[in-house]
Homo-oligomer: A and B are copies of this chain.
């Protein structure tokens, strides 16, 4: 049992202290949903190799009762398995698969566009020790050597395509209140985490204020407003 009802979370942060990674955002919401307090350790990319057991290469990582657990998916499964009497993150194994499919779908169809719009914003918001790494890794791994200033050029013109990419989600939410049914769970936290990531760095609002998605987005952000209503987030509309 987590001491003091608290779980330590190594948090990937921007220079203003705000969480960057969608995987950390969803893990924060998962820990809240299980009823624990979060002992967040702000961590730039450059410090990841120094945390916990010194073997970590990515965040999130949690420490609980001396155990070190990386990977947002594995952390969610660990929390449900270790604390089965607390609110569940998943109601069935099928829901875990549902989350994986939706998550991959979001990356391939929605985040792909946003990434190309916000990658220079990310450089500008990064911790000083991360700036060079972020710029070079993004430019060389993700954009085949294209300068990031060129990648984000004319990004406003891509807004219609970004909005359209969310159509399957709008359609899906016509038939259900939350992604898994009548109550929010890790499915919603995962989906919300992509919008929190966008809000953490994105200086270009891309949703219409009248987007029907706001019904779900606002409800989802209100589940754990201490996390999801952070004043440092940029507006999405």
A residues bordering B, Cβ < 8 Å? 90-98, 100-102, 104-105, 108, 168, 171-172, 175-176, 179-182, 185, 187
Contact = CB atoms under 8 A, between A and B. Distances in A.
The 9 closest A-B CB pairs, nearest first, are A94-B180, A93-B181, A98-B98, A91-B92, A94-B95, A92-B92, A97-B176, A101-B172, A91-B94
Given A90-B94, A92-B92, A95-B95, 10 more contacts: A91-B91, A91-B92, A92-B94, A96-B181, A97-B98, A97-B175, A98-B101, A100-B172, A104-B172, A105-B168
A93 B178 CA distance: 10
A92 B168 contact: no
A105 B106 CA distance: 12
Contact of A181 (B97, B179, B181): B97
Nearest to A180: B94
Interface centre among A92, A100, A104, A172 (most CB of B within 10 A): A92
A13 to B, nearest CB: 29
Nearest to A73: B175
A185 B94 CA distance: 10
Contacts of A187: 94
A154 to B, nearest CB: 28
Nearest to A175: B100
7 contacts: A94-B95, A94-B98, A94-B185, A94-B187, A96-B181, A98-B98, A105-B105
Nearest to A169: B101
Contacts of A95: 92, 94-95, 98
Contacts of A91: 91-94
